[in-house]
Homo-oligomer: A and B are copies of this chain.
Amino acid sequence: MKASQQRRVEMLLRIFKIRYFEEAVKKQQQLGQVPGSVHLSIGHEATIVGASMALGKDDFVIGNHRSHGHPIAKGANLPPLMAELFGKATGVCKGKGGSMHLADREVGVVGESGIVGAGLPLAVGAGLSAKVRGTDQVSLCFFGDGASSEGSFHESLNLASIWDLPVVFVCENNMYGATSPAREVIAVEDIADRAAGYDMPSEIVDGQDADAVYEAVNCAVVRARKGSGPSLVECKTYRFGEHAEGLIIPVPYRDSEEVERWKQRDPVDLYRDRLIRGGVLSESQADDLAEQAGKLVDEAVFFARDSEFPDPAEAFTDIFKMPSAGQFEERGHE
């Protein structure tokens, strides 16, 4: 099923939001406001938004280390996300999770994992939960080409398939896992070729085309929702920047020509132009959308910047929901 025009406009807005959010994060990281290193989604926006908008509000999303975009695409408020990246108390995870763990339960983003591949079993579990509880929720898992080499990929696809769980596996295949080219470390060119080994339908789509991603994922979601089981959607995409900002990689590992070629297909421009050309919105409406997104991102940065750091004692809360006697006497030093 195709997205409605209204939804497509919202998709463009969210694509803008992710792009500007990530650009702001990059800048703030360089300014020393965002501690640690950050894995940006720039280049992946069409995949992320196309897939997420094919879900309903109550559906579940599980992300990975490159997941700033996932909650945004699912409709999250930006300020708590940005504040999290700043390590502030107002962060969506109170400053405890950070860049690689931007869970936002408000919009169904259940968890994100800094451990490559670890999200896939979690997504299967969310699917199991929907099935057992008798809801029609669907669980969507984002993972990279690199993650598809982990044993957890195999175990998860098999588990989801044997019980026909409502899970959609979305591979953001950007052709590299850190510096390792997929063609050198993955025995097949298309991850989708592995779906047959789990008796699972799969589809390969242009990950720079938000509509194409939406349609493929929507089809998988419909299938999952009616109890027909999981699917694998492979989105061919590309990361425009470094593996992580704040992490030095001493030598180039991608052809600059390859990078340039992909940048020609910038998902922001592609989708903006398509909607304008298709008469969905005018150029100035598109500019308004972009401006709106930019404002929201700016506000998020201000919010993050103006928020307080958490009280050091917060380091010792949230370990257990139901604490038992005796464990937490020791505190850190000031």
Contact = CB atoms under 8 A, between A and B. Distances in A.
A194 B184 CA distance: 20
Contact of A197 (B152, B185, B188): B188
A150 interface: yes
A154 interface: yes
Given A150-B151, A151-B150, A154-B153, A187 B198 contact: yes
A150 B199 CA distance: 17
Contact of A187 (B151, B188, B193, B200): B200
Interface string A176-202: 000000001111100001101111100
Highest count of chain B CB atoms <10 Å: which of A149, A185, A197: A197
Contact of A193 (B151, B152, B197): B197
Interface stretch (A6-14, A155-163, A312-320): A155-163
Interface in A268-319: none
Nearest to A229: B187
A92 to B, nearest CB: 31
B162 A151 contact: no
A68 B239 CA distance: 51
| Interface size band for A | 20 to 34
B199 A196 contact: no
Nearest to A156: B151
A177 to B, nearest CB: 12
Given A197-B193, A197-B197, A162 B185 contact: yes
Contacts of A155: 149-151, 154
Contact of A151 (B151, B197, B199): B151
Interface string A121-160: 0000000000000000000000000000111111101100
A202 to B, nearest CB: 11
A186 B198 CA distance: 8
A194 B196 CA distance: 7
A51 to B, nearest CB: 22
Across chains A and B, which 6 residue pairs bring their CB atoms closest together, nearest first?
Answer: A151-B151, A154-B154, A161-B187, A194-B197, A187-B198, A187-B199
